[in-house]
Amino acid sequence: MSSGVPDAEGVTLLDGEELLHNVRPSWSNWSGLIAILTIVTFGTLGLGIVLFVIPWLARRNARYVVTSERVIEKSGILSTSTNEYRIEDIRQLQTGASWSEKLLGHGNIQFSTGAGGSLITFAGVPNYDGIANTIREQQRE
């Protein structure tokens, strides 16, 4: 058995697997936290600046990856966790965007593996319709 090929910023691809999308979630996923931190910053500049590192690190370490075989969500600041589904196991795919997300040019993709199955959400995704269409095309193959 041969080892996977490292790629996609910390996500190891399987042999023969092709990287199709590799995106980070939008900053707006942390807008509430950023708003609170902005208020804190007015009171104590040093503490506020330190606290801005939290959403920056969270976004920097978050990844939504779509390959020819899997969809993968990677997240974590101090520790890392991943959720992944084989594309062939996805039974439901939903996309959507609120009016504010549309203004910002991103939306959400939600996957499930069927009745009572697991649920994974890619939130704040640029080109969410294009990524969803890529997944649909991979399911047809």
Which tokens hold the place of 8? 């996609």
> What is the pTM assigned to this prediction?
0.71
Architecture of domain 5-25+62-140: Roll (2.30)
For 55-88, how does the pLDDT look when each residue is reduced to its tens digit (9 = 90+)?
Answer: 777 777 888 899 999 998 888 888 888 888 889 8
Spatial CB neighbours of 140, under 8 Å, sequence gap ≥ 6 = none
Mean pLDDT calculated for residue range 115-141 = 85
CB burial string 53-84: b at 16+ within 10 A, e below: eebeebbebbbbbbbebbbbbbbeeeeeeeee
Task: For the beta carbon of residue 22, count every other beta carbon within 10 angstroms.
Answer: 15
Q: Given a cut of 70, is residue 3 above it in pLDDT?
A: no
- What residue segments make up the domains of the chain, in order of their start? 5-25+62-140
